């Protein structure tokens, strides 16, 4: 974990954001001694959450395909 002063953080904000994403968190300390934690927000998406595709088929065609597959 790395600690940076407020001045350093202002000058290197883009690289600190990258570092927080890569390493988990970065600490920024002010002159008055107060400290702040900068960390990336992780997206909790399911690997099964995929975008659908439009096949342009209707209900009857779907049912026909299901009937055919089930008869095998």
Give residue limits of the domains in the chain. Answer: 1-41
Question: What's residue 59's pLDDT?
Answer: 94
What global pTM score does this model have?
Answer: 0.54
Q: What is the pLDDT along the chain (72 residues), one digit of tens a residue?
A: 678 898 988 898 999 999 988 988 999 999 999 999 999 887 788 888 888 888 899 999 999 999 999 998
CA distance 38 to 33: 16
Question: What's residue 2's pLDDT?
Answer: 78
**29 three-class SS:** strand
- Show the tokens assigned to 56: 């342009």
Question: What's residue 1's pLDDT?
Answer: 64
Q: Which CATH class is domain 1-41?
A: alpha beta
Question: What's residue 30's pLDDT?
Answer: 92
């Amino acid at each position: 974990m790395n600690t940076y002063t407020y001045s350093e953080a202002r000058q290197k904000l883009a690289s600190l954001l990258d570092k927080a994403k890569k390493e988990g968190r970065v600490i920024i300390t002010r002159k008055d001694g107060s400290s702040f934690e900068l960390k990336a927000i992780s997206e909790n998406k399911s690997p099964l959450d995929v975008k659908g595709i439009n096949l342009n088929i209707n209900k009857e065609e779907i049912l026909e395909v299901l009937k055919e597959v089930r008869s095998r």
